[in-house]
Amino acid sequence: MLKNDLLLRAANGQSVERVPVWLMRQAGRVLPEYRATRAKAANFIEFVKNPELAAEVTVQPVDILGVDAAIVFSDILVIPEAMGLPYQMIEAKGPWFEKTIKSAADIDALNIADANDLNYVMQALQKSKTALNNEVPLIGFCGAPWTILAYMVEGSGSKTFSKAKQFLYTQPDLAHRLLEKITLSSIQYLKGQIESGANLIQLFDSWAGVLSESHFYEFSLRYMEQICDAISPLVPVTIFAKDAHYALENISHTSCNTIGLDWTINPAKARALTGTKTLQGNADPCLLYANAETIVRETTAMLNAFGKDRYICNLGHGLYPDLPKENVKLFVETVKNFRYA
Amino acid sequence: MLKNDLLLRAANGQSVERVPVWLMRQAGRVLPEYRATRAKAANFIEFVKNPELAAEVTVQPVDILGVDAAIVFSDILVIPEAMGLPYQMIEAKGPWFEKTIKSAADIDALNIADANDLNYVMQALQKSKTALNNEVPLIGFCGAPWTILAYMVEGSGSKTFSKAKQFLYTQPDLAHRLLEKITLSSIQYLKGQIESGANLIQLFDSWAGVLSESHFYEFSLRYMEQICDAISPLVPVTIFAKDAHYALENISHTSCNTIGLDWTINPAKARALTGTKTLQGNADPCLLYANAETIVRETTAMLNAFGKDRYICNLGHGLYPDLPKENVKLFVETVKNFRYA
């Protein structure tokens, strides 16, 4: 039994004494302790594949920042790799794929991955679970199928993902074939994560925002929906479709439990559009560059705007590496000390 | 008198026989003719500063694509340069500033620019005007003050503009001082553009989307409002705040005539939020990678969604350099041949 289950109760729509808080990329470079552990691995990919080191940085923010959940340290691009499309992480540039997906033959050559193909993530979860000692829930995750396709076709990060979008416009049938393979892989991967101890699953659709509304429904949301239908009977599921402001209402019609919001979303408007779903977010990460007074004022305003129940406090995106650690702590403490009138 | 004034009538809310169409970045690499002219200049900055060459590429798309307006070929970063902060355009990387704004002294050292400081743009407008021979209107433009500040502080393009946003969070008073100087410079610059022949002005807030709603109002919209109030009594003004989905209603409360929309905005929702303002946009640029059938179908659906009046057809962002020229032409022809039932 978990000693602190605020996150799960909030995700399930149950009442809580106080709002739970965690931070996207809390296991990351903002912590000097993370950078020390990271230095033990030769490169980012080896770091991700080392269950001991991954578990170490997974647990760090619970101890250091006092957050109400741990999220397993990993990368969304482990799925393309497990399907047969390896990547490199290039310093200051981001991910890069030597081979990209262009044709039906490229798609046919891909595996449907399962948990065995990602055994190092399963081990990282198990080791994290042991180290957490049931203090707080453990979050598992994967990329949304569209976001994974975007990298597999584009071959790297991009401002526009115009190659990946060109693929949707010119080869929609192939896109669906690839999305189906990614979806099946993701469901098996997430079921493995749950068996290895994940208490909640988050889907990251990091590049939802480059799609038009109709393309988001056709090429992204329907596959996230399949994942939600497979996973939400097991543990609560969060959909975080960054910049998909246009789709909040339709996201709320899926079987997800929680909807993640980026910092451009107005809390009251989001409440009006999403029925009884739990909401997560949505402070601007750059708020944590500000002075203490501003951080406390803006965080308090956000807490009041969302209200106590069906709310998980977080940022609207991941922590930036150069945010001051003490400001991150202040954000967490402000949430934990706040009491609704 | 203009022979084709569809754009101006649409911007002014008057009824039109058919919807006018032009394309952001129509004077650009999508045209082989542009690339030929571009090759005559040593680099991008010299190209921008050469009024003959700039006028040549300004007029090209009117002849080649048959669009209903020309937009003067220039760059939004001529304003920082005229204020005393020069930049370079680095191939495949984008703009780069050797010196950036960090302190009050940096801001005090900046000039307030006027049309004389940007005489090469005035000449480009005048030469374009002569070459256009009153066939279609000529559009002038500048960057929104926030977007200009973003480059002056960040020093380059960025996915997050986290340095520029840090400046807003930590030095709001300095940010306002800088925004005021940019705003005054922009108003003088735009008045010069109108005297040199611009029939309509567009403000590009390319990085509106990285701001939170409250920061957009505080650091961006109020300065665009000042520009609209100074310029809209002279010629119609368009505000294009990319990704500022959250602000459409408040943008409609300014004295602008037209609101530009990116491709994530639903036309019916935009109509409901913006009263009687003219709307401009909003096809996904990647649509123009698709086959002819898809281009015609999606463009027709968009024309029906916006309706005939108070609408200027365009993309939701600039043309990408590798879009096929014949697809761009098909888009323009589809709009020009379309008749509302």
Sketch out chain B's domains with CATH numbers. 6-337 (3.20.20.210)
Active-site residue, from A9, A34, A68, A151? A151
**CB B166 to CB A286 under 8 A?**
yes
Of B159, B269, B294, the CB nearest to A169: B294
A280 forms beta bridges with A260, A312
| A166 contact residues in B (CB cutoff 8 A) | 286, 289
Minimal Cα distance from B247: which residue of A?
A264
pLDDT at B92 > cutoff 90 = no
User: Residue A99: CB partners within 8 Å, gap ≥ 6?
Assistant: A85, A106
Of B246, B266, B284, the CB nearest to A266: B246
pLDDT, one tens digit per residue, over B20-39 is 999 999 999 999 999 999 99
Interatomic CA distance for residues B72 and B303, integer angstroms: 26
| A170 contact residues in B (CB cutoff 8 A) | 289-291
Long-range contacts of the stretch B157-163 (C-beta < 8 A, 24+): B157/B93, B157/B94, B157/B95, B159/A159, B160/A285, B160/A286, B160/A320, B160/B210, B161/B207, B161/B210, B162/A285, B162/A286, B162/A289, B162/A320, B162/A322
pLDDT, one tens digit per residue, over A246-300 is 999 999 999 999 999 999 999 999 999 999 999 999 999 999 999 999 999 999 9
Question: H or E segment at A259?
Answer: strand A258-260
pLDDT category, B91, cuts 50, 70, 90? confident
| A208 contact residues in B (CB cutoff 8 A) | none
User: Residue B338: CB partners within 8 Å, gap ≥ 6?
Assistant: B18, B19, B299, B300, B303
Active-site residue, from A9, A34, A68, A75? A75
**CB B169 to CB A290 under 8 A?**
yes
pLDDT, one tens digit per residue, over A196-233 is 999 999 999 999 999 999 999 999 999 999 999 999 99
Looking at CA atoms only, how far is residue A158 from chain B in angstroms? 9
Q: With CA atoms as reference, report the closest residue to B191 among B250, B256, B121.
A: B121
Furthest-apart CA atoms within chain B: distance in Å:
61
Placement of tokens 């879009």 in the chain: B323
Q: Is A339 a catalytic residue?
A: no
pLDDT at A35 > cutoff 90 = yes
Whole-prediction pTM: 0.97
pLDDT category, B191, cuts 50, 70, 90? very high
Minimal Cα distance from B286: which residue of A?
A166
Placement of tokens 């639903």 in the chain: B266
| B263 contact residues in A (CB cutoff 8 A) | 212
Looking at CA atoms only, how far is residue A223 from chain B in angstroms? 20
Minimal Cα distance from A319: which residue of B?
B162
First to last CA, chain A: 30
| A322 contact residues in B (CB cutoff 8 A) | 162
pLDDT, one tens digit per residue, over B99-142 is 999 999 999 999 999 999 999 999 999 999 999 999 999 999 99
- On whether the CB atoms of residues B73 and B132 are closer than 8 A, the answer is no
Q: Is B38 a catalytic residue?
A: yes
**CB contacts < 8 A (A, B):** 79
- Opening angle at CA B334, ends B331 and B338, nearest 5: 150
| B289 contact residues in A (CB cutoff 8 A) | 162, 165-166, 169-170
pLDDT at A68 > cutoff 90 = yes
pLDDT, one tens digit per residue, over A100-110 is 999 999 999 99
Interatomic CA distance for residues B202 and B11, integer angstroms: 11
pLDDT category, B341, cuts 50, 70, 90? confident
pLDDT, one tens digit per residue, over A172-184 is 999 999 999 999 9
Active-site residue, from A5, A9, A25, A223? A25
| A160 contact residues in B (CB cutoff 8 A) | 285-286, 320
Looking at CA atoms only, how far is residue B274 from chain A in angstroms? 16
Minimal Cα distance from A172: which residue of B?
B290
pLDDT at B259 > cutoff 90 = yes
pLDDT, one tens digit per residue, over B225-256 is 999 999 999 999 999 999 999 999 999 999 99
| pLDDT at residue B332, as a whole number | 98
Looking at CA atoms only, how far is residue B295 from chain A in angstroms? 10
pLDDT category, A121, cuts 50, 70, 90? very high
pLDDT at A340 > cutoff 90 = yes
Q: Is B25 a catalytic residue?
A: yes
Q: Which amino acid is at A103?
A: S
pLDDT at B320 > cutoff 90 = yes
**CB A320 to CB B162 under 8 A?**
yes
Minimal Cα distance from A294: which residue of B?
B169
How does the average pLDDT of chain B come out, rounded? 98
Full DSSP string of B89-110 = EETTTEEE-SS---SHHHHHTS
Q: Which residues of B touch A (CB under 8 A)?
A: 159-160, 162, 165-166, 168-170, 209, 211-213, 215, 243, 245-246, 263-266, 269, 284-287, 289-291, 294, 320, 322
First to last CA, chain B: 30
pLDDT at B336 > cutoff 90 = yes
Proportion of chain A above pLDDT 90, given as a percent? 99
pLDDT, one tens digit per residue, over A69-94 is 999 999 999 999 999 999 999 988 89
Placement of tokens 């008073």 in the chain: B173
